[in-house]
Chains A and B, each alone.
Chain A
Amino acid sequence: MSRFPCPDKLLKLNQRFKIFTELAEDLSFLQEYPPRTHFSAKDNLCAVGFQARAGSRILEGYRPPFDATAIWRMRQEGAALLGKTNMDEFGFGTFCTNSGYDIPRNPFDEERACGGSSGGAAAATSLLEGHVALGVSTGGSISCPASFCGVIGLTPTYGRISRHGLIDYANSLDKIGLLVRDPLALRKWLPVISGPDPKDPTSCVQPALVTSGRRVERVAVPKEATENLSSGVESQFARSLASLQEEHGILVEEVSMPSLRFALSAYYVLATSEASTNLARYCGMRFGVRNLDISQHFNDFFAETRSANFGTEAKRRILLGTYARMVGFRDRYYMKALAVRQLVIAEYKKMFQDFDLVLTPTMPFIAPHFAEIERMRPLEAYQADFLTVPPNLAGLPHLSLPCGYSDSMPVGMQLVAPHWEERLLLDIADRWTSKFKMRFPEVSA
């Protein structure tokens, strides 16, 4: 790959890998000199000039009248928006196989998944040199595909980057982040898209982003996170721990974090509860798809539109979330999940008294084949998120770094930092990539 893909080649690549759901009409900026940074945005980020469909058929044709703050800030800084990247519908998925459009293919092996839900973003970064992808994580949607596609994925603290213009999955969990090949790109673009924005009040309580001044010295590895790993991931992770100690002089210690076990259940209750309210607005009125007879009773019209245009996983999560909020179940599920979240946060905080970071593998296995995914039951797919969910539930900044290769497929490790301490992640990204040789797929269009 050249640093600047020519437009033709890009179109061909996309036909093959289904990374972008929409590309900029005019791609001539790719040949400009001096070169501009080209970036992509996950399809749940609103950008003027593009549809924003969040991977869902129900948003077919929706062209938002405003830019998401993160996109606006990238553009102000001179970056050019190349296109919108493919994703699981509304972020609902671990493999990017729940898109209402095509299914993106892993650049390392086309028979394997990219990971989800920011699958297109990770694949684009893996395929295009110098590319910066804006992704979004609710329960691990940046870490997971970064790990499967062998790139760096940074998910900042909840509230660090304005969510204005982000199509909501679960507002108390959604975080915009970056997928890149080179940690220098994190140092350049994280400060650009961070910072308070009155259009998202939850971004207005953040302390200023500091990118230096702390070095990673001690990391904790919870033993709960090294159970149920595939052998390839297990061995690559073990090698990485050794490298951290021997090559980087970082103290690695095994710890126990028992509340991590409950994070997954709490996450799925909270995320689906919020999602089921967020998705209520999609009904074929005002925006998005409208292909039915509007003279029907509104209830029938809404139900038909939603039945025809939401995918299976979206429907499943609406049902789960609605159930968890119902009178009689609300206390048992929704309220309890809120309490568990506090427990998880407290346990991390305790850990950060003695350690700079908490380290785990990112995913328990390498990118699976599509055929394997088809055989998975929904619960098994949810369980694959057990390592990425805890920091997301706690709103903690975290980073997935490529840390090895198994069966020629990338393996990732995930580092979790205290709230607002993204600088520790930038430090470890710099140091790790100075010694670790990252691989990128050689692909001809």
Chain B
Amino acid sequence: MRIGLEVHVQLPTRSKLFCSCSTSAEEPNSSICPTCLGFPGSRPAINRKALEMAVQIARFLQCRIAPEIWFSRKTYFYPDLPKHFQITQYDSPVGVDGHFMVEGKSIGIWRVHVEEDPGRIKRVGRSGEEVSLIDYNRSGIPLVEIVTAPDLSSPDEARIFLTELLVELRHIIGTSAGDEQSVRADANISMGEERVEVKNVQGLRNLERALKFEANRQQRMLESGMKVVRETRRFDEERKVTLSAREKEFEEDYGYIGEPDLGVYDLTRFASSMPEIETPLRRAQRMSAHYVVDYEKARQIVLTSMALADLFEAIAKRVDPEVAMNWTLGPISNNWSQLLPRLTEQVVEDVVTVVQQVVDRQITDSEGRRRIGAIAVGECAQDVSCAVEDALLDSIISQYLDEHPQVLKDYASNPRSANSVIGHVMKVAQGKYNSQEVVEAVRKEIERRKG
């Protein structure tokens, strides 16, 4: 099975691609002007920020960046497209010939280009009396289109590809971009010779459904000896099926010509002055390799937050990375929502110090945990000493072991004898300590007495 995707992601610029209208209006048709409505006499002026983002994306995807780009007119008639041509890029995409790694497999990226979004059509009213309403707020919002080679070999892989891509894009161009529900894609899918294009599928979940349905449909057709015809289909979100939109005997003719109102833009200086951005998943790979830690755990850290990854790396520089990983995914992650907003250099240093102290056995694990909790709520770690409570836990254990010497004797042959101590502590302390903490404390005390 071969699947290729054309992914459309809105770029989170504040104004539209060719006019100064805001991109964040709520009320329908409240953010429109002569330019994004295609009024006669209006003309486009480029939003450089959008170009910058597109170059960043193309660079991230290892594309060759075009030294110069220009725009083209793609002509077709549809009510949501005010000029009846879309200003897009045809013969000078921002980037070509890139790739993106997904689970160790390289997916080819044919091209990355910038274009304007059309308006949005909404159908309202009862069936049979439906009315189409058009909201032009979306008209002119910058899009980046990423076209992959047909390298994806299953709907599953396509979903993973897109999920991972969006994680990275969100980091490169801003948090609001690449929402999993708002991403739009056209998918080309082929089980045999002829390919079928499923157009304009919105959202990650629908894309996977559409691909699965289409794969099944083609599979069944081929099995029963029928031929798959080359056509464009659309995905019906309600019924979760793809439906034939039109048969495609020849390529649609959009009559591309250059857009004379926009000039030629030099990208070379632009691209070379841009800093290289380390995206979350690339960082997870680097951390995994550099600190020799599990990739999945590294991934979990970066997906929580790049700031958490910063913290992990600060700790891993001072203590065994495996220990750093456990503390990062354990106590630090548990307190992350409170910790994140107060993350300063000093706070990072405090957290690192706590872990360091635990490793150096200056304080116990539970003391360490407690201190991190304290830091998270803005209290100084040293002020909230938990030594008293730790001492209390230790004394309960000691007392029990003193009273039941048999436990220590049995322990050598049957480590389960420690369970009676643990049970006693849990009962006496009534949930004051968590079981892991207690198990650890009991084990330590028994070892100490034996040693």
Contact = CB atoms under 8 A, between A and B. Distances in A.
Contacts of A243: none
Interface string A26-65: 0000000000000000000110000010100001001011
A277 B253 contact: no
Nearest to B39: A287
A280 B83 contact: yes
Contact of B83 (A46, A281, A302, A325): A281
A211 interface: no
Q: Which of B39, B79, B251 has the most CB of A within 10 A?
A: B39
Interface string B232-267: 000000000000000000010101111111110000
Contacts of A326: 253, 255
B40 A201 contact: no
Interface residues of A, number: 44
A164 B261 CA distance: 10
Contacts of A45: 41
A66 B34 contact: yes
Interface in B106-149: none
Given A62-B40, A166-B41, A302-B77, A280 B85 contact: yes
B412 to A, nearest CB: 85
Interface stretch (A99-107, A167-175, A244-252): A167-175
B43 A281 contact: no
A281 B260 CA distance: 17
Q: Which of B37, B45, B78 has the most CB of A within 10 A?
A: B45
Contacts of B84: 277, 280-281, 283
Contacts of A164: 41-43
B41 A68 contact: yes
B8 interface: no
Q: Which of A170, A198, A327 has the most CB of B within 10 A?
A: A327
A164 B34 CA distance: 11
A108 B122 CA distance: 57
B38 interface: yes
Interface in A329-344: 330, 334
B46 interface: yes
Contacts, number: 102
Contacts of A66: 34, 41
Interface string A398-440: 0000000000000000000000000000000000000000000
Interface in A263-320: 273-274, 276-277, 280-281, 283, 285-287, 298-299, 302
A286 B37 contact: yes
B417 to A, nearest CB: 82
B82 interface: yes
Contact of B77 (A64, A167, A283): A283
Given A298-B78, A334-B257, A54 B40 contact: yes
Contacts of A298: 77-79
Contacts of A167: 40-41
A298 B134 CA distance: 13
A205 interface: yes
A163 interface: yes
A292 to B, nearest CB: 14
A199 interface: yes
A285 B136 CA distance: 13
B73 interface: yes
Interface string A191-217: 000000011111001000000000000
B257 A165 contact: no
A201 B82 contact: no
B75 interface: yes
B41 A325 contact: no
A226 interface: no
Interface in A154-182: 163-168, 170-172
Interface in B57-91: 73, 75, 77-79, 82-85
A52 B39 CA distance: 11
A166 B85 CA distance: 18
Nearest to A325: B255
Contacts of B253: 326-327
Contacts of A259: none
Interface in B80-105: 82-85
B263 A46 contact: no
Interface in A116-144: none
B45 A198 contact: yes
A64 B263 contact: no
Given A66-B34, A285-B79, A326-B253, A59 B40 contact: yes
Interface string B193-231: 000000000000000000000000000000000000000
A299 B255 CA distance: 18
A201 B262 contact: yes
Contacts of B41: 45-46, 52, 64, 66, 68, 164-168
Given A286-B39, A302-B77, A330-B255, 6 more contacts: A64-B39, A199-B43, A201-B44, A201-B46, A330-B256, A334-B257
Interface of A: 45-46, 52, 54, 59, 62, 64-66, 68, 163-168, 170-172, 198-202, 205, 273-274, 276-277, 280-281, 283, 285-287, 298-299, 302, 322, 325-327, 330, 334
- List the 9 shortest-distance A-B pairs measured between CB atoms, nearest first: A280-B84, A325-B255, A172-B260, A171-B260, A167-B40, A46-B41, A165-B41, A281-B83, A281-B38
Interface of B: 34, 37-46, 73, 75, 77-79, 82-85, 251, 253, 255-263
7 contacts: A273-B257, A276-B255, A280-B84, A281-B84, A298-B77, A326-B253, A334-B257
